Structure 1
């Protein structure tokens, strides 16, 4: 005696029949004509916009969830901005406050595979080690090193100030040089 496989409310005792019924149901749900139209529109968009594959850099705040106790802000990179994705970490776990195109330095780093991390997450209040001002100061310092203009940096800071409904104090970073003591 075999176990029945239910496909679309009907029981099948033969695996091949169940697979065929499932495949037929899946085929009936597909809209191949619309898929071809979407593909043609996408190809036309790529022809008319030469910068269609430039990644985006997004700044966001972790959404509140019963399982996530962390409060963090993050800078994350969208390596595939042209794809249609239903549920991604960008929209599911973070509230995107500001979105900008990557600079030429960042694009070159992406192509050379120097960026290995997709997210740069700054914890806000984990063990009280980093305040929100300090985290935002680090983000601003990183962006200035990448050559982001001051107008965009002020827009980023304003987006965080609007979200948190308070003013931020941006600290000047203190850079240190690592000395190689064992160099000959």
Structure 2
């Protein structure tokens, strides 16, 4: 009887420890300088025995955050964002109103660079970090780290970081 109880305790402990796929990023926002390198960190844990596919996607701002930061643009959307604290006029809009593209993908040790970035010094290093050799003006925006595993589909499979490139 004691063996059954111990078995159930171990099973419950293991079930509590396995939460499925979990993607995290240590930074939610990163400010970097033009023409400097940047490393966007992405960590994940999985119970999968299969190699994960890592994909980084870029989404432009919904409106010009850099221009606004420099005092060159103003918007009535700021008033609206104060009413709804969860809504950000720079980040929250449908994808059809912004540029969306794949930056890079990695499966095993093979890294594939998206068409727009082929002439750039970009790679996925370590397990899932995005390394950009020289930042350009158009690099400001949201970067999504998406992890795909064939046999671990529960949990959180993507996370984003905002990158703001300044002169």
TM-score (structure 1 length as normaliser): 0.25
**Structure label with greater radius of gyration:** 1
| Between structures 1 and 2, the one with greater helix share | 1
Greater RCO (Cα-Cα under 8 Å, separation 6 or more): 2
| Between structures 1 and 2, the one with greater strand share | 2
